[in-house]
Structure 1
Amino acid sequence: MADPDPDPSPAPPPTSAPEIVPSTRALLKERDYLAFWCSRWTGSFAAQIQSVAMGWQMYGLARTEGKSVEESAFLVGMLGLAAFIPVFLLSLTAGETADRHDRKTVLLVCFAGEMVSVAVLAVATWRQAATVPLLLAMGFAFGAARAFFNPASTALGPMLVPRALLPRAIAWNSLAWQSASVVGPAIGGALIALSTADAYGATFLLYVVSAISVLIIRKTTRPEVQPGSRWTLMKEGLAYVWNQKIVFGAISLDLFAVLLGGATALLPVFARDILLSDAHAFGILRASPALGATLVGLFLAAHPIRHRAGVVMFLGVGTFGLATCVFALSRSLWVSVVALAILGGADMLSVYIRQTLTQLITPDPMRGRVAAVSSVFVGASNELGEFESGVVARFLGPVGAALFGGVGALIVTGVWARLFPALRKADRLE
Structure 2
Amino acid sequence: MSPRADSLLRHPAFVAFWFARIASGFGFQMLSVAVGWQIYAITGRAFDLGLIGLVQFVPSVLLALPAGHVADQYERRRVVLIGQIVEWMAIVLLAALTLTHRVHETGILLLVLVIGMAKAFESPSMQSLLPALVPPALLPRAVAVSGSAFQMAMILGPAVGGLLYVAGPGVVYLGAAVLYLVAATMMFAMRYEQAPPKREPATLKTVFAGVHFIRARKDVLGVISLDLFAVLLGGATALLPIFAKDILRTGPWGLGLLRAAPAVGALLMSVWLARRDLQRRVGAIMFGSVAAFGLATLVFALSTTLWLSLVALFALGAFDMVSMVIRGALVQLDTPDDMRGRVSAVNAIFINTSNQLGEFESGMLAAWIGAVNATLLGGIGTLLVVGLWLAMFPTLRRRQRLHVETAAPDGPVADIL
TM-score norm. by structure 1 comes to 0.80
The letter of the residue matching 1:232 is K
Give the match's secondary structure for 2:208.
Answer: helix
Q: Match of 1:35?
A: 16
User: Is the 1:389–1:402 contact (alpha carbons within 8 Å) kept by the matching residues of 2?
Assistant: yes
Compare 286-295 and 118-127 and name the one that shifted more: 118-127
* 1:157 and 2:138 matched: no
Residue 243 (structure 1) shift? 0.3
Give the match's secondary structure for 1:324.
Answer: helix
Q: Match of 1:250?
A: 223
User: Is the 2:69–2:202 contact (alpha carbons within 8 Å) kept by the matching residues of 1?
Assistant: no
Summarize the Cα distance change of 1:318–1:118 in structure 2 as closer, same or farther, 3 Å threshold. farther
CA distance, structure 1, for counterparts of residue 29 and residue 72 of structure 2: 27
Q: Match of 2:401?
A: 428
1:44 to 22, 25, 28: 25
CA distance, structure 1, for counterparts of residue 30 and residue 122 of structure 2: 17
Q: How does 1:209-288 map to 2 (within 5 A)?
A: 209-220=182-193, 223-227=196-200, 229-267=202-240, 276-278=250-252, 282-288=255-261
2:313 to 330, 333, 340: 340
CA distance, structure 2, for counterparts of residue 289 and residue 99 of structure 1: 34
CA distance, structure 2, for counterparts of residue 118 and residue 407 of structure 1: 43
Q: Whose RCO is larger (CA < 8 A, sep 6+)?
A: 1
Give the match's secondary structure for 1:302.
Answer: coil
The letter of the residue matching 1:217 is M
Identity of aligned residues (%): 44
Q: Match of 2:413?
A: none
CA distance, structure 2, for counterparts of residue 303 and residue 333 of structure 1: 32
* 1:177 and 2:150 matched: yes
The letter of the residue matching 1:307 is R
Compare 147-156 and 343-352 and name the one that shifted more: 147-156
* 1:94 and 2:67 matched: yes
CA distance, structure 2, for counterparts of residue 171 and residue 85 of structure 1: 28
**Can you list the C-alpha shifts for 1:135-191, whole angstroms capped at 9, x where unaligned?**
765654443222212210111111122333323222222222223323224434545
Summarize the Cα distance change of 1:268–1:352 in structure 2 as closer, same or farther, 3 Å threshold. same
Q: Match of 2:415?
A: none
Residue 406 (structure 1) shift? 3.4
RMSD (CA atoms): 3.4
Q: How does 1:401-420 map to 2 (within 5 A)?
A: 402-420=375-393
User: Is the 1:23–1:168 contact (alpha carbons within 8 Å) kept by the matching residues of 2?
Assistant: no
The letter of the residue matching 1:22 is P
CA distance, structure 1, for counterparts of residue 268 and residue 52 of structure 2: 29
Summarize the Cα distance change of 1:124–1:54 in structure 2 as closer, same or farther, 3 Å threshold. same
**Can you list the C-alpha shifts for 1:196-236, whole angstroms capped at 9, x where unaligned?**
55544433322222111101112356742154544332232
* 1:353 and 2:326 matched: yes
CA distance, structure 2, for counterparts of residue 392 and residue 354 of structure 1: 28
User: Is the 2:300–2:313 contact (alpha carbons within 8 Å) kept by the matching residues of 1?
Assistant: yes
Larger of the two Rg values belongs to structure: 1
The letter of the residue matching 2:251 is S
CA distance, structure 1, for counterparts of residue 98 and residue 257 of structure 2: 23
**Can you list the C-alpha shifts for 1:61-88, whole angstroms capped at 9, x where unaligned?**
89x55xxxxxx5x876665444322121
Q: Match of 1:22?
A: 3
Compare 304-313 and 74-83 and name the one that shifted more: 74-83
CA distance, structure 2, for counterparts of residue 404 and residue 196 of structure 1: 41
User: Is the 2:4–2:277 contact (alpha carbons within 8 Å) kept by the matching residues of 1?
Assistant: no
Compare 377-386 and 291-300 and name the one that shifted more: 377-386
TM-score norm. by structure 2 comes to 0.82
CA distance, structure 2, for counterparts of residue 356 and residue 263 of structure 1: 26
The letter of the residue matching 2:24 is G
Q: Match of 1:104?
A: 77
* 1:323 and 2:304 matched: no
The letter of the residue matching 2:145 is W
1:305 to 275, 278, 291: 278
CA distance, structure 1, for counterparts of residue 299 and residue 137 of structure 2: 39
Q: Match of 1:11?
A: none
The alignment of Structure 1 onto Structure 2 pairs a total of residues equal to 401
Residue 38 (structure 1) shift? 0.9
1:167 to 134, 140, 143: 140
